[in-house]
Amino acid sequence: MVTLPKDIFDRLKNITKHDFIKALERDGFLRDVESKQGAILVYRHSDGRRVTVHYHPKAGFGREQLKKMVDAVGWASREDFKRVGLIR
């Protein structure tokens, strides 16, 4: 599992689900419409990466959920988070 620096994690824990999904799309992930089950959205990348986003509009991401999604996506460096627009 990727260990996020505290300053990056502090910024990420306040992002909206919409912002996280936009970052996925900027990184080349596409929503798998055949895998939708209720509030669970699946995004896939052409290189085989896959991430599941639990989309409850009024609830934020839990600490472990956020870490698992970032790990599945493969964003490990400060440059990755800058590239997808989650940090400056």
> Which letter, b or e, does each residue of 34-53 get, where b requires 16 or more Cβ atoms within 10 Å of its Cβ?
eeeeeeebbbbeeeeeebbb
Considering only CA atoms, which of 85, 68, 78 is closest in space to residue 24?
85
Architecture of the domain whose range is 6-83: 2-Layer Sandwich (3.30)
State if pTM tops 0.75.
yes
Stretch 38-62: mean pLDDT? 87
pLDDT of 58 over the 80 cut: no
pLDDT of 71 over the 80 cut: yes
pLDDT of 2 over the 70 cut: no
Domain boundaries, the chain: 6-83
Stretch 42-55: mean pLDDT? 93
Confidence (pLDDT) at 85: 92
